[in-house]
Structure 1
């Protein structure tokens, strides 16, 4: 059985590296994108099971990415976790209303990220 796929969309190479190490340890295959446009291109090639999504990125930000992702994945929307330093509760509510499954503050550690991934049900896909 193939491993579930996690796409990490973040303009920070360091964040992508840290997140990759964590989610690979949880049994996911991982792909990376440095902005929303690259992330959407990867989704068109292979729709992930989970997306870790930064809010503020050049070219296409996380909210625009999320809106476009919903357009192209109508029948198989991946779980989406916003990973950002955004702390305004109204902005977090906006992300959730736009279709994100949950939100995790940067910087995060392995325990926090694993907990959030489990809460949105993405770990269940891994063992199903």
Structure 2
């Protein structure tokens, strides 16, 4: 809920508690306190919101939406990062493995959580449970020469 929403709820509770808003006349504008009869102008009692109140309500709604958008964007950006610990100072992480070093079989990490980078240590299992992801290692086998 936005700050504007909390303000409206507070106004509802405060005005209803002291009897300013009868149960039968609950409308948005009465809750916001924008009707002329609620502002003490009973001789101009139209029950319609004035321009200042409409602008205030629109600003509260727009401000709440903007804050919600930016908070969601920042949270999503933090979650979007995959590599949180391996060679963070580099613009790209590149590792080279010689074909002769592979031997019969090597298992390479693809979840970026391994302590033995670039080789897999099984960290993807924990990562998959936490995130609901389905990453697994890359297995490279060499063919046996006859």
User: Do both share a fold (TM > 0.5)?
Assistant: no
Structure with bigger RCO (C-alpha 8 Å, 6+ apart):
1
TM-score norm. by structure 2 comes to 0.24
Higher strand fraction (1 or 2): 1
TM-score norm. by structure 1 comes to 0.26
Largest Rg, 1 or 2: 2
